Amino acid sequence: MENIALIDSFSEFKDDKLIDRVTLMAILEDVFRNALKKKFGSDDNFDIIINPDKGDMEIWQRRVIVADDDLDLDHLEITLTDARKIEPDFEIGEEVSEEVKLIDLGRRAILALRQNLISKIHEHDNTNLYKQFKDLIGEIYTAEVHHVRPRVVILVDDEGNEIVLPKEKQIPSDFFRKGDNVRGIIENVELKGNKPQIIMSRTSEKFLEKLFEQEIPEVFDGLIMVKNVVRIPGEKAKVAVDSYDDRIDPVGACVGMKGSRIHGIVRELGNENIDVINYTTNTQLYITRALSPAKVSSIKIDEENKRAEVFLKLEEVSKAIGRGGHNIKLAGQLTGYELDVIREGNIAEEEDDVELTEFSDEIEAWVIEEFAKIGLDTARSILKQDVNDLVRRTDLEEETILEVMKVLKDEFNS
């Protein structure tokens, strides 16, 4: 019973760790063998008998009987006198098996055994945790906010596992409080010492792809395929979808009536603007669709250098470029082509037009830069715009825009 009591005292925390009895006993054997090697130099003449059903373990030491006057006695041998205390009819040369009680190892050895056991179980837990989350890389996972720090949010799942959501993996508009449930994908699992660090991401393209799979039944069932995803987290994304079934409209199925299906995804991503387009192997058509909502007049493709000149009417240029240049940047990433915008328009007007940088004495550089971000870099291109539309698409105040327009109008009226 001594061994059972000691083993129970060693393994009293096993239920908290959710470790099964058989695994625990295997770890125990390993721990005790290491202790025996440390004490005797070898564990070759020790037998450890495990009984996982009873939770018991026996340690037996095998020694060869030698004469009492043998002065080179070691842990592999026992004197005849000592052997006959175990069994009276033993003779020299025979092998004796004697049970070793754990309590006989001494208090210090037992404390060391306990510490070693705890260490081994933690190591076992960490190995299992590492394998478990390695298999979950690229999958959506939900966990609860445990602690919010300036550069990272610490999450905890239902099993008590700690998950890290770094600042750079958060959508800019994300704001979390303790107790909030957070969804993201498991992006990576890294070993920090012996402890696995689980990294979650909400900015990955894979997260958006998995949200489509989770929220849209046809994508989950494989009727619609997500061919490519590009995004500027929290701002804008483009998703190319396709279907082998001509009866299915992949874009319509993903967006839903009045955007009903995609609305949940948009909300999850902090109102990220998501363009869903039909994938095609026709490069010109693919680029045209990718630049939506702009209407493309024509495209000239340089296949060798993966570049394309996109010809647009003047009023379509700003739509193609988009706020902050996001639309054209994502269209290029989606199609794999570097896109150059070529303006089409009234030749006389274009010849009469003036680059916005020419007004640097009257208009501040940062204001000129704001207009350039949405593709407006000439005087006439700005004068053609609606003031309210410019307020919406730039970070400029209405008063600033009106002042700029006055400066530009004065140039052409002078």
31-72 pLDDT tens trace: 778 777 777 777 888 888 776 566 567 888 888 888 888 767
Contacts of 63 (CB under 8 A, 6+ apart): 45, 75, 76, 77, 78, 83, 95, 96, 98
What integer pLDDT is reported at residue 172 of this predicted model?
Answer: 93
What integer pLDDT is reported at residue 23 of this predicted model?
Answer: 67
Say how far apart CA 174 and CA 190 lie, in whole Å: 24
Kindly tell me if the per-residue pLDDT of 351 is higher than 60: no
| Mean pLDDT of the 5-28 span | 58
Mean pLDDT over all residues of the chain?
Answer: 84
Q: Is 64 helix (H, G, I), strand (E, B) or coil?
A: strand
User: Which residues, listed in sequence order, are joined to residue 91 by a DSSP beta bridge?
Assistant: none
Q: Is 46 helix (H, G, I), strand (E, B) or coil?
A: strand
Q: Which of 110, 15, 112, 115 is nearest to 55 (CA)?
A: 15
3-state SS, one letter per residue, for 169-207 = HCCCCCCCCCCCEEEEEEEEEEEECCEEEEEEECCCHHH
What integer pLDDT is reported at residue 348 of this predicted model?
Answer: 46
Lowest-pLDDT range of 93-102, 166-175, 347-356: 347-356
Check residues 147 and 13 and name the one with the higher pLDDT. 147
Q: What percent of the chain has pLDDT over 70?
A: 85
Tokens representing 122?
A: 């933690």
Kindly tell me if the per-residue pLDDT of 312 is higher than 80: yes
What integer pLDDT is reported at residue 209 of this predicted model?
Answer: 96
Say how far apart CA 223 and CA 193 lie, in whole Å: 44
Which tens digits make up the pLDDT trace of 391-405?
877 788 999 999 999
Tokens representing 39?
A: 């004490």
| Mean pLDDT of the 351-375 span | 83
| Mean pLDDT of the 321-344 span | 91
- Find the helix or strand (DSSP H, E) in which 313 lies: strand 307-313
Kindly tell me if the per-residue pLDDT of 107 is higher than 70: no
| Mean pLDDT of the 162-177 span | 94
What integer pLDDT is reported at residue 82 of this predicted model?
Answer: 83
The full set of domains in the chain, from first to last, is 2-131 (3.30.1480), 139-201 (2.40.50.140), 205-344 (3.30.300.20), 347-413 (1.10.150)
Say how far apart CA 367 and CA 379 lie, in whole Å: 13
Q: Is the dihedral of CA 371, 347, 301, 320 positive or negative?
A: positive
What integer pLDDT is reported at residue 347 of this predicted model?
Answer: 46
Write the DSSP symbol of residue 228.
Answer: E
Check residues 314 and 270 and name the one with the higher pLDDT. 270
Omega cis (within 30) before 293? yes
Which residue, chain included where needed, has tokens 């081994």? 120
Pairing of strands 307-313, 338-344: parallel
Tokens representing 304?
A: 């060798």
Say how far apart CA 209 and CA 265 lie, in whole Å: 10
Kindly tell me if the per-residue pLDDT of 282 is higher than 50: yes
Measured in whole angstroms, the distance separating CA 40 from the mean position of its chain's CA atoms is 48
Write the DSSP symbol of residue 378.
Answer: B
